[in-house]
Chains A and B, each alone.
Chain A
Amino acid sequence: DAKTTQPPSMDCAEGRAANLPCNHSTISGNEYVYWYRQIHSQGPQYIIHGLKNNETNEMASLIITEDRKSSTLILPHATLRDTAVYYCIVSPRDNYGQNFVFGPGTRLSVLP
């Protein structure tokens, strides 16, 4: 079973920030939080990952709470092309063959 919980769907207006929450209350100290997204029928696309500090890259920002039990992915200026299913995954630093366990994710719809 997935170790994360996400809302099944969210809407966001184009040009506004999209804030996607994820709960991972049983996360271990050596587990990272990863975010991927999947645009219809394509392979999942890596977005960002973090351990305990907030992270930012050209695609998004990741905010992890101090107790690491939840996180938020922020798309600062959502566009129609950001419409996708977003997956939050927790996984150890060194996978050693351990698989990513995907939940159902959050279906984000960016509306014009």
Chain B
Amino acid sequence: KAGVTQTPRYLIKTRGQQVTLSCSPISGHRSVSWYQQTPGQGLQFLFEYFSETQRNKGNFPGRFSGRQFSNSRSEMNVSTLELGDSALYLCASSFPVSRGVLTDTQYFGPGTRLTVL
């Protein structure tokens, strides 16, 4: 079974631009979470989607947004990029708890490295 895939893997943008990152979850997984990782702040939760609905959101400004499609694929968008948005953006997918699945173990993709100049 293929893992979580993220595209693109690397991206360079300039301040003020906007960017869209894509995440394809593991087949059958319906929950997608996004995280930002920086050297100073570590891994921080951005938001989580399940069945096309945002269920939870971290403490990030409104410039960070996301959505999920009916096939569970997800995108996140960052508008008006700032230098501080340079980070590794990670996507994780999980299968909802059911009789056959005991926990919401999250499986991470390789990440998208965003550099803002």
**Which residues of A does B touch, CB under 8 Å?**
32, 34, 36, 41-46, 49, 87, 91, 93-104
User: Which B residues form the contact surface with A (CB < 8 A)?
Assistant: 4, 31, 33, 35, 42-45, 48, 50, 55-56, 58, 88, 90, 92, 94, 96-97, 102-111, 113
On chain A, the residues within 8 Å of B90 by CB distance are 43-44
**Pair B111/A42 contact, Cβ less than 8 Å:** yes
B33 / chain A contacts, CB cutoff of 8 Å: 99-100
Interface of chain B: mostly helix, strand, loop or mixed:
strand
Contact residue among B43, B56, B107 (Cβ-Cβ distance under 8 Å from A102): B43
**How many residue-residue contacts, CB under 8 A, span A and B?**
68
Q: Which residues of A are found within 8 Å of B44, using beta-carbon distances?
A: 102
Task: Give Cα A98 to B56, complex, Å.
Answer: 7
B45 contacts A101, CB within 8 Å? yes
Tell me the bound Cα distance from A91 to B106 in angstroms: 11
Q: Is the CB of A95 within 8 A of B104?
A: yes
Determine if B50 and A97 form an interchain contact, defined as CB atoms under 8 angstroms apart.
Answer: yes
Instruction: Output the nearest chain A residue to B49 by Cβ-Cβ distance.
Output: A97
Residues of A within 8 Å of B105, CB to CB, are 34, 46, 49
If A41-B113, A42-B111 touch, whether A97 touches B103 (CB-CB below 8 Å) is: no
